[in-house]
Chains A and B, each alone.
Chain A
């Protein structure tokens, strides 16, 4: 499948944290040709397993890419006038600065398109006149009469943002939910490539649920699978409008490999070596406390999992105009496939020994 179409399919399907059912169905269809078993757990994460060819007992590598996007939820239906409106709360870290007049869909008894609206600033209380419109003032305007709205919408119904995927210059694409559907696409590309390649280890690819709220899927999926090693795939901040500081990668500079407390140094090294083996340029990122990704939860499941972190550079994270370079998505997928094919029966021993070897 062409990368643009893959990204379009993934980003335009609704699936905010806690309400991943639709996106789960899509991912299931996309992964099904490449794996043996697919199942969805009680938290909503979707697991796809594929056996390796090594001698049993085979170690297992877990690939985790969160499938949830940020979104909104109905917290109150305003039924005072002729037209009905909906007050909302956030699902995940929504950037409220850019919500005004964005396009959304309320998933009530049926899907209702609407637009984010507010009283004009001059009519707000003084303390809010000069701030971005917040949740006290923003409402969703679905353009429906009150009685109709009340029949169709309940408190707790979820709301997704509405944005088609578009092409920019170069190989850049822009839309919503590229955080983290770009990574789900990368995992899809990885699984597709592994169709024709030999790998010793068993693979479990997990599209985790509820990362944006509390890394819920990362903790629970890793506990359930108890893998021998894991890689989290997420997005990272790329230089762009509003972010020109040093230290951030450009779009099209390849995947970023992260180092820091959430990453096992041996996993970082092995990912770097895999990139060198296929002459792929990568950048290196750091986190000094937490990586803000599934790696944080994966690493401390049960008695601990050696974890790596691969990230796709992305501009304007958590807005409706997130932008990635298609080539970076493809590169991430290929890098994962290369890393997996290089896993052998000695890898875990090698990771363990590295913990106690003096530096040269």
Chain B
């Protein structure tokens, strides 16, 4: 059992309330790093000193927040109104179990029984504005001591390994955090690594922007978890990231065209080390590279991601070999990084 993935995925840390996961990660890395600090948005930033051989500052970003719900009000009946934090499809919510607030109160998202619905209603998507979280309170007053407005709620899922795969919540992006932790625990690199466990990625790539500004790195690699759409289909045009085909390298998403020099380097590294990889389908989505690449006159940035099925839902799934290859590829990429890589043009500068 991968204890690191279990601990990280079962911990709570919905965007803007990442304290529990932040403390957990700090405790997991404290013995392996030279220094750490937390900035005003809550990013945990840690320094892994290099051997001094190369004059490079490399930022590794892994967002530690997960999608979830925010309590926006309490009905007189004691049911809680909520809003989603991060992109969650309404179809994901009905009939799920959540953990609310710092007091970790269990709640369920109930539904009007289908027996009492008209035929056409049984087939409509229930909109989240009409959903409520039920913590079992009998009225508004009995809620006040347990849950406050503004509290965040996360899904509850126990990590489980099923052979080649594992089920858990928030592989997006605790798998990335796990990989980053393994790198910090490994042998030193020829250069300094500044690890940023960033916040609020799911609500607009917020934490990475200020982390990158503060770090001012020479280059950055973002460790992420990208949706795998590999359920069976007849169409030969669907997005192509699948479980079991290795880590996925981004080339373009909605908000970044990833640095071609870094991308070539990562692919070359994979080929030379016989690590399987796939190219994440260009087009939609976005990662923290979008905000890192624009600070201080520009930072070359790229994203390596582990495929994950059922994104932004309580039960995500990854392939455990993909995870091993994901860590391997990142380590190998870092080991072979050289400053010459970042020369842009064939012309003299």
Direct contact of A and B (CB under 8 A): yes
- Hey, which bits of chain A sit against chain B, CB under 8 A? 246-247, 259-261, 264-265, 268, 284, 286, 288-290, 299-300, 302-306, 351-352, 355-359
Instruction: Establish whether residues A261 and B206, one from each chain, have CB atoms under 8 Å apart when the complex forms.
Output: yes
Instruction: Name the contact of A286 in the complex, choosing from B42, B43, B72, B102 (C-beta under 8 A).
Output: B72
In the complex, what distance in Å separates the CA atom of A27 from the CA atom of B43?
A: 37
- Which of B157-165, B207-215, B224-232, B316-324 lies on the face that meets chain A? B207-215
Given A261-B203, A303-B214, A352-B38, also A288-B102 (CB < 8 A): no
- Hey, which bits of chain B sit against chain A, CB under 8 A? 15-17, 19, 22-23, 26, 38-43, 70-73, 75, 81, 83-85, 102-103, 149-150, 200, 203-204, 206, 209-211, 213-214
Instruction: Establish whether residues B16 and A261, one from each chain, have CB atoms under 8 Å apart when the complex forms.
Output: yes
Given A247-B73, A260-B150, A286-B70, also A304-B19 (CB < 8 A): no
Q: How far is the CB of A76 from chain B (nearest CB, A)?
A: 34
In the complex, what distance in Å separates the CA atom of A106 from the CA atom of B84?
A: 43
Instruction: Establish whether residues B38 and A355, one from each chain, have CB atoms under 8 Å apart when the complex forms.
Output: yes
Instruction: Establish whether residues A302 and B19, one from each chain, have CB atoms under 8 Å apart when the complex forms.
Output: no
Instruction: Establish whether residues B85 and A288, one from each chain, have CB atoms under 8 Å apart when the complex forms.
Output: yes
Instruction: Name the contact of A303 in the complex, choosing from B19, B39, B102, B200 (C-beta under 8 A).
Output: B39
Question: Taking each of B72, B213, B214, which has the highest tally of chain A beta carbons within 10 Å of its own beta carbon?
Answer: B72
In the complex, what distance in Å separates the CA atom of A305 from the CA atom of B85?
A: 21
In the complex, what distance in Å separates the CA atom of A267 from the CA atom of B38?
A: 16
**What would 16 more interface pairs be, CB under 8 Å, given A247-B72, A299-B41, A352-B40?**
A260-B150, A261-B16, A261-B203, A264-B40, A286-B150, A288-B70, A288-B72, A288-B83, A289-B85, A300-B209, A304-B41, A356-B22, A357-B19, A358-B23, A359-B19, A359-B103
In the complex, what distance in Å separates the CA atom of A352 from the CA atom of B75?
A: 34
Say whether chain B's binding surface is mostly helix, strand, loop, or mixed: mixed
**Chain B residue with Cβ nearest A304:** B210
Instruction: Name the contact of B38 in the complex, choosing from A288, A299, A356 (C-beta under 8 A).
Output: A356
Chain B residues, CB < 8 A from A289:
85, 203-204
Instruction: Establish whether residues B40 and A302, one from each chain, have CB atoms under 8 Å apart when the complex forms.
Output: no
Given A286-B149, A299-B41, A356-B38, also A261-B72 (CB < 8 A): no
**Chain B residue with Cβ nearest A289:** B203
In the complex, what distance in Å separates the CA atom of A44 from the CA atom of B23?
A: 42
Q: How far is the CB of A208 from chain B (nearest CB, A)?
A: 19
In the complex, what distance in Å separates the CA atom of A256 from the CA atom of B49?
A: 46
Instruction: Name the contact of A304 in the complex, choosing from B40, B85, B103, B203 (C-beta under 8 A).
Output: B40
Instruction: Establish whether residues A300 and B19, one from each chain, have CB atoms under 8 Å apart when the complex forms.
Output: no
In the complex, what distance in Å separates the CA atom of A239 from the CA atom of B85?
A: 24
Instruction: Establish whether residues B40 and A286, one from each chain, have CB atoms under 8 Å apart when the complex forms.
Output: no
Q: How far is the CB of B241 from chain A (nearest CB, A)?
A: 26
In the complex, what distance in Å separates the CA atom of A268 from the CA atom of B23?
A: 21
Instruction: Establish whether residues B149 and A259, one from each chain, have CB atoms under 8 Å apart when the complex forms.
Output: yes
In the complex, what distance in Å separates the CA atom of A319 from the CA atom of B346?
A: 57
In the complex, what distance in Å separates the CA atom of A156 from the CA atom of B213?
A: 36
In the complex, what distance in Å separates the CA atom of A284 from the CA atom of B102?
A: 18
Instruction: Establish whether residues A303 and B210, one from each chain, have CB atoms under 8 Å apart when the complex forms.
Output: yes
Question: Taking each of A246, A247, A261, A352, which has the highest tally of chain B beta carbons within 10 Å of its own beta carbon?
Answer: A261
Instruction: Establish whether residues B206 and A355, one from each chain, have CB atoms under 8 Å apart when the complex forms.
Output: no
Q: Closest 5 A-B residue pairs measured CB to CB?
A: A259-B150, A303-B214, A304-B210, A261-B16, A359-B102
